[in-house]
Amino acid sequence: MEQSKITQVFGITPAELKEDIINDVRAELKIIAQNFQPIKPPEYLTRQEVAKILKVSLVTLTDWNKKGILKPYRLGNLIRYKSEEIDQALIAINNVKNKR
């Protein structure tokens, strides 16, 4: 035998209960919408763009790639860098310089 679960609410009409639930859901959705950050696709930069941003030569970029300071992404013969990672690399380079 299956037992049915019944919840009884006293002192409130079904319409009032429905309205309370709707208001609570709307309030929660409003909070979620305020904190929502859409996923931004990564922006890829060319070697020339990165060299210009960092104010270094293309030879220095190649050297930094080999040393692991920057992380290049290859697409066939093309080399690209994520703009977020360039920002992180700048911070890391500054930290190394400040420790010296």
What whole-number percentage of the chain has pLDDT above 90? 39
Q: How far apart are CA 57 and CA 68, in angstroms?
A: 17
Output the pLDDT for position 11: 87
Q: How far apart are CA 90 and CA 23, in angstroms?
A: 47
Q: Which fold has domain 44-99?
A: Multidrug-efflux Transporter Regulator; Chain: A; Domain 2 (1.10.1660)
Q: How far apart are CA 9 and CA 84, in angstroms?
A: 53
Domain ranges of the chain: 44-99
Within the chain, how many helices (H) and strands (E) appear?
4, 3
pTM: 0.55
Q: Which of 42, 34, 37, 44 is nearest to 79 (CA)?
A: 44
Q: Give the pLDDT confidence of 35-60 residue by residue, as tens digits.
A: 887 788 888 999 999 999 888 999 99
Point out the residues of the chain with pLDDT beneath 70: 1-2, 97, 100
Q: Which of 93, 84, 96, 99 is nearest to 55 (CA)?
A: 93
